[in-house]
Structure 1
């Protein structure tokens, strides 16, 4: 059932008969219902659907990071839509006859805050990953401040799991030891980082793939 909010000349929502009302880019629009097709999907259509399903499936696990840190929040393009578009174009690789996500290209954030010039990883004892970053020389400014907070993300392909921690440590700390589940011992994991401002709401850096590392078993 459609809902008419401003009389017969106003926009409406949901399905009414054979049309659907919606709000798109600040405009009320009406579109017809799609007609069912008896034609089998083409190879290109099947490939596109597989790619879209792969990307949205991965990003759904880190949707909180995407919504907070990725791009703008305009009506025209949501952070998730921007992230999906990027990963469809840049983060899918073909392996034989199948497609896979290239986790070295995974990005959960885009922004103007500056990243430290040097980022490093080290695997320490007891299943921890040491994220290390350099402390820049020079005065703080809008796009780099000692109070900026590091946000961390780790993906374990063997377990098909993400581990995340927001506001792990301030930029001034230069290091954070992230504890991973004990069952990750001897697994290889992909590691990522970005920074977010504590002084300016919504000001974040892009995320960066720091590297792949094997977890030291306890």
Structure 2
């Protein structure tokens, strides 16, 4: 169905009969239906399609984490929603090409949280006696107890997990139980970030490593 714009003499968006209308840089364009190409995709087209598929699947699996981590990045000046901002970041900054010319996720470049606070430094994770140990260098600016530590577990093809305010940012270390929702057979990458619980400000995430 087409939608008429600016009265009977204006252009239209959408399909009317066998033609399509749309606005391109202020000009109204009418075109016929595109024919499906029988040509095999070029290498660039193949790579782009694989990259889009990987980004889509990866972001859907980790949507709850991204919805929290990018909620403060949305403002009235951007056309992107919260989830779309995360997808844009993953597409542009996280997915790289491996030796076989296939797209892969570079977890070290991933930001699961995006904010204005200073990120934790020298963050590391280890697994000891069934518990997860986290260490980081405290920031003197975040000594107040309103600053907490958020924790995220991200997997390539499994459900993610998000834990809020697990410790004070000034502690420099903490130990938590393995979340029950994590798949014991899956690989999880671990991220932490600071959270100002009074003013609802967060930092970019810091990559801690692979949970082993």
TM-score, normalising length: structure 2: 0.72
Once the two structures are superposed, the pairs formed by residues 31-42 of structure 1 within 5 Å of their partners are 35-38=34-37, 39-42=39-42
Q: Could you say which residue in structure 2 is the equivalent of 1:72?
A: 74
Residue 147 (structure 2) aligns with = 148
Distance (whole Å) between structure 1 residues aligned to residue 8 and residue 175 of structure 2: 59
Q: Residue by residue, what CA displacement relative to the aligned partner does 1:122-173 show, whole Å, maximum 9, x if unpaired?
A: 21222x32223333335x5xxx85323332222356xx32431231424245
> CA separation of 1:32/1:81 partners in 2, compared to 1, >3 Å: closer, same or farther?
farther
The within-5 A match list for 1:10-89 is 15-17=15-17, 18-19=19-20, 35-38=34-37, 39-70=39-70, 71-73=73-75, 74-89=77-92
Q: How far, CA to CA, are the matches of 1:36 and 1:116 in structure 2?
A: 52
Indicate how the Cα distance of structure 1 residues 16 and 95 shifts in structure 2: closer, same or farther if over 3 A, else same. Answer: same
Measure the CA separation in 1 of the matches of 2:177 and 2:30. 49
How large is the RMSD of aligned CA atoms in angstroms? 3.6
> 5+ unaligned residues in a row in structure 1: which ranges?
none
Regions of 4+ moved over 4 Å = 2-17, 29-34
Which structure 2 residue ranges, 5 or more long, are not aligned?
none
State whether structure 2 residue 212 is matched by structure 1 residue 209: no
Does the Cα contact within 8 Å between 1:163 and 1:180 map onto a contact in 2?
no
Quick check: 2:120–2:193 contact (8 Å CA) kept in 1? no
The whole-number CA distance in structure 2 between the counterparts of 1:147 and 1:177 is 20
1:39-63 CA distance string (max 9 Å, x none): 4322211110101111121011222
Q: Which secondary structure state, in structure 2, belongs to the residue aligned with residue 95 of structure 1?
A: coil
For residues 24-82 of structure 1, what are the alpha-carbon distances to aligned partners after superposition, in whole Å with 9 as ceiling and x for unaligned? 9xx9x877576123243222111101011111210112223323323334442334333
